[in-house]
Structure 1
Amino acid sequence: MGNRAVYCLKEDGKENHFYAHYGANSLSPLLRLWQAMEIQKQLPENQSLAHIFEHLDYGGGYQEEHLADGDMFFAQIEPGEVGAYKDIYAKGSQLEMWVTLDVDGNQCVLEYNPNCSWYRTMGSYSIDLDKGLENVRRLLEYGEEQGITDFNRLLAIYHNSTGLAEKLEDARGSMRLSEYMDSPQTEEQYRRYREMLEREEPEGGQEEMER
């Protein structure tokens, strides 16, 4: 299990794609980009963000030597494999989100896969990168003041502050309703109701026959 996503990073006119096993949420894209930009300031030779993404661990640190796959946040997708990932995203629910971080165009776009029943009504959202990164900085500052380091708690705060919490709950409500309508219990209730209607004689029917 995971929260699987594909990230497309647009930087200096180039596109690089990455798979993130736990990246399908609204906070990770901006948080990881913010971490990479902070690391970029410290590294010599002006390393690209794409290079830093390849070396980013789950703690947001830079690992010169790659750790085991399970300890790295991103896995680079080779250019020839991107089409296969797009096909997987379009046809199923294995990939839950497609994220575009357009550094050149100052845009972050979050696409929720409608094939995932829990995201069916979510659609896509975009935010200016500079505004999004400032939101992350303020969130981390607030978390530090409050002693909050747990990612899920920070994510909940972020969802509430951006209005995504309500949209996610609406999407889950739609999923639950759909599941209920398709359930065996609902089908059984419909069957009993149809049988009841078939047994009931229309009011006044017998009287009309006797006349």
Structure 2
Amino acid sequence: MKEEKTTPLRQRMIEDMRIRGMAEKTQAAHIRAVKDFALFLKRSPDTATPEELRAYQLHMTNAGMSATTFNVRVLSLRFFFGMTCGRDEMKRHMQFRRAPRKLPAVLSVEEVGYILAAAPGPGLKYRAALGISYGAGLRAAEVCHLRVQDIDSGRMLIHVEKPSGKRTVALYETMSAFGSVPVVLAHLISKESITAEPTLGSSGQGCGDGGRITTSGLRAPRQCGGGERAGY
């Protein structure tokens, strides 16, 4: 296979990328992007005009290129013109595309009830954890590290500790066939099933309430009937 000749312009761009400390994969992506632009122009890319640069962006759009690929190529050309060619004015003629945002599925109260009903048992511990996760919008790992003293049931607030600092979130009442979250928490606390250990994720023994809460356990309802009925 015949090796492609490296032109002085490409060699200079490679050197500029090495000075920046770019990874080899990033360098290869930038080279491919500039090469594609040169094929579009049918001449050396450093001679491009603002109008030709605009035409190339329109060409990529009409070809159905994804916003991610489009933006990667624009980044490559910005580096090429700004750093290698010393033509910063060309950057004003390059625009990034916005990727279409997919709206998350909004579950109905009944669908949330299906998920809570599918929580692993016996007992209410996982149902309480899932209810807290849904009602306060917490991640699975955050729920597993919750302590009972972090839950202010009187004011319906939860104090969440994160590496970046503490935050307080509102605990909206999440209804299910087993009652609201405050009711479930009251049941667990009264039986000391989650107060004997420092966190919800700790290995408790009492009352048959599911033992240790794990992130995989919190995600389990998605794999069973309740998760499917909820549209997962």
- Do the two structures share a fold, i.e. TM-score over 0.5? no
TM-score by length of 1: 0.24
TM-score by length of 2: 0.22
Instruction: Return the index of the structure with the highest Cα Rg.
Output: 2
